[in-house]
Each structure stands twice: as C-alpha cells, then as structure tokens.
Structure 1
Amino acid sequence: MADTLARHSMVKASASGWSAVMNRYPELASEPIVAGWVGAGHPLIVRRPACSDVAGMIPLGLPLPPSHGKRRIAISLATADIIASAPPPLLADAAAAAPAHWRTTIDLLLKLLPETRTFGSLAWRHLTGLPYLTEGSDLDLLWPLSAATQTETLPSAIAAIARQAPMRLDGEITGPAGGAQWRELIGNDEDEVLVKGPTGVASTTRAAFLSRAAS
C-alpha cells in the first residue's frame, strides 16, 4: 500500500499501530485528543518524508485544531498498520461544513472544476467534526489535472475567483509528477515552478509542468 499512497491521502490506522505510536511518544499519549484520535475514527494525512523519518515507514501528519494549539504532529506507521486509505475529500462533499459566507466562492470553484479536493481546515472539520475553522482560515485545495481542456487557463481562472473570495485560496494544481502551487503557474511558460512529489521537491518550468499534467 505504501507505493500507492499519494501525499495528502487520508488514512486510518489500526488500534494496535496507534498504541505502538503512543508507546514511542509518551508526550503525545499524555494529550487525550491525540491518544484517542484513532479510537474516535479520525484519519491521518500522508506527508512528505523528513530526514528524521525511518525508512520503510509511512510518514503521516495530525494537525490539531486551534483550540488544542494548532500543532502539526508528525508520526510514522508501518504499512501493516494502515487499515484504510482514501484521497482527501471532494470540495463538493466538504462544502456543507464551510461557513455560509464561503458558499458563493465554493460554488464558483466547483463550477470551474467539480473534481476539486480539499485538505486543510475545511477538510478536517468535515472529517472529524472538530472546530478547525476560524475567521482567518484559508481554503486549501487540490485541483487535479488530466487531459482537461482548461490546463492552460486553470491558474488564471482560479486567480479570478481568488480576487473576489472572502478567504485566502491556497493549494496546488496536481499532475503525475506532483503538485505545484497554483500562484506559481500564473506567468510565462519559461518561469520556474517547484513541484512537490511523494519524496521531495523538484524544479521545472511552467510549460513543462502543465504539458505533463495534461498528457
């Protein structure tokens, strides 16, 4: 399963795997929300590996809500301890958890690309029911590209929506090589962009990224 888990995938851990994590990190086990996270049915998110991660383990993250310090906890699990996985939720599915004044912007985003997914505060609110959203929350999104006709125009279309949005639109346009921050894809074809892949970050040009994403 490890080879198929893209960054931002949501996974469920086994109870025994989570107990092992709590044994390895007693400082985390002392926090009730963390100790009970898996038992409550909440997911973890796949992140890029760090230098301190153990080879062969799946690097995961657990971002706590603002009421618990908004900490970003990094842990790792063995493949055998992952019992389920799924892509981050579709924006369409998470929309009901959004503030009312976000609705117009979300409708425009869904009209632009119905396959848009979300992975930040809105996603965690939708998946856990916990109070992740605040007045200053961004809307973190993933725009998947394939052979879509809007490959060249998608970044500027997102920018047009962002200019009218009541929140900051953040996130990546994603293709086979990974994801690039959408703002970096507005400009000239020779402009350099950073592509975040499963294991690291690579540099390419805007034109090269968009051409591979649409192939």
Structure 2
Amino acid sequence: MPERLPRHTLVWLSAHAGWQADISAHEPRLVDWFAQGLPAIVARRAADDADPRLRLGVPLPPMEGKLRLALRVPLQDVLRTEAPPTLRAVLEGNLPVEWQHPLQALQTIAPARVFGAFAWQLLSHLPYVHARSDIDLLWQAGSAAQADRLVASLQAWETEYGRRVDGELWLADGGAVNWREFAGRSREVLVKRADGAALELREALFNAAGVAA
C-alpha cells in the first residue's frame, strides 16, 4: 500500500482499536458507521501538515444533518482501499427515476468515477440523493484537447437536462482541477493534490507528464 493515498480513495478500517482512541467523544456515530462495514474517504491535507496519519472523512446523509465527521488513522489500520465507484455502478444501483435518463446520457460522454451523494447512497444504502442533488464526478484527462471536449460536453449536458454536474479532471501526475475552473479559461487554475493545493499555469497542466497540450 502506498504511503500516500489519493484524495477520494475509499478506505475500510480494521477492527484494531488503535484508531478508535482518536475519535472525539461527541462523534460516536463513527464507531457505528465502521461497525456496519462502511468506508471513509481520503481527504486533502495541508502542505504543512506534519501528522503522518491519514486524514479521513465520513459525510452523513441529509437526514442526519449532512455532517462531515473527520478522523485520523495510521496507515497500518487500513484494511483495504478502493477507487470511488464508477458511474456505471451507480446507474445499476437504486436511483430515483428522474435521474435515470440524465445519468445514462452522462455515461455516454466519458467514463467517470463518482463521489458525493450518489456514491454514498450506493455504498451505504442510506438516502443521500434527492431531486435537487448535484452529481459529483471524476474524469481522467490526458491532454488539453481531451479536457476541452469533455468540458464542452458537460456544459451541453447541463443545458439539456437542467441539472448540475460537479467534479474534477484528474491529471496524469496525480493532480486534479475543478472542471468549471478549467472551463473558465483563466491563465492559472487551482490544482489539488494529496498534500495541498496551489495555483498552476493552465498551459503546464498536461506538460508535466510529457503530454502535449
């Protein structure tokens, strides 16, 4: 297992009691959550964060106030990890009827991974998604041309279906940029990485990994 797990990685914890000692007394919901075999998600850490433990989050469903519970765990307490579920897996799950056709159309644009409400509803079988939900997706983008085509398709999808899609373009070097910010054509964009975030030149986003823009 790598020393640094990418943001949005799903993490299941072992039954080892070491990590439980770091849970605040006012967050017993976390103990119940993990006892049900549910995962947490890897969160971004600050660049100057000296704590070597993983920073994890558990977003609770709307019926529990949409609270995001946080904890730190040593890497050795991780039982297993997985990438976020695919959009295809979400489509095969229990979706509200009004979301079926829009998401089928979204699936035809490009393969994507899902985080946020739709992912957590699939994973937990708890009600996260409602009629006004946004869908949060992650797409691989290997070149500026590919990213431009994807952005144009997402904008057209929003116009046609009157819904909002949020998410990030994953870069080959492990960074990620919000697709709306990339669509804004500013000279610099905010790139998020496992150990922080910083503004970077748009023209250099795909050159870092030797990919022509």
Same fold (TM over 0.5): yes
Residue of structure 2 in register with 1:131 after alignment: 127
Q: Which moved more, 1:201-210 or 1:36-45?
A: 201-210
Name the aligned partner's letter for residue 157 of structure 2.
I
Q: Flag structure 1 segments of 5+ consecutive residues without an equivalent.
A: none
Counterpart of 1:75 in structure 2 is: 71
CA contact (8 A) 1:177 1:195 kept: no
Equivalent residue runs for 1:37-186 within 5 Å: 37-50=33-46, 55-95=51-91, 96-114=93-111, 116-146=112-142, 150-175=146-171, 176-186=173-183
Q: CA RMSD in A?
A: 2.4
- Residue 209 in 1 paired to residue 205 in 2? yes
User: How far apart in 2 are the matches of 1:10 and 1:145?
Assistant: 21
Other-structure match for 1:11: 11
What SS does the aligned partner of 2:136 have? strand
CA distance 1:214–1:51, shift in 2 (3 Å): closer
Q: Which amino acid aligns with 1:178?
A: G
Are the aligned partners of 2:139 and 2:168 in contact in 1 as well (CA < 8 Å)? yes
TM-superposed CA distance for 1:22, in Å, is 5.5
CA deviation after TM superposition for structure 1 residue 90, in Å: 0.3
User: Which gives a bigger RCO, structure 1 or 2 (Cα 8 Å, sep 6+)?
Assistant: 2
The number of residue pairs the alignment matches comes to 209
Shift of 1:147: 6.1
The 3 A distance-change label for structure 1 pair 104 and 24 is closer
Give distance in 2, aligned partners of 1:22 and 1:128.
24
Match of residue 193, structure 1, among 186, 189, 193:
189
Structure 2: how far apart are the matches of 1:149 and 1:98? 33
Q: Structure 1 residues 141, 213: closer, same or farther in 2, change over 3 A?
A: farther
User: What TM-score results when the alignment is normalised by the length of structure 1?
Assistant: 0.87
Q: Give 3-state SS (helix, strand or coil) of 1:15's partner.
A: coil
Q: 2:129 is paired with a residue of what secondary structure? A: coil
2:149 alignment partner AA: T
CA contact (8 A) 1:145 1:213 kept: no
Structure 2, unmatched stretches of 5+, are none
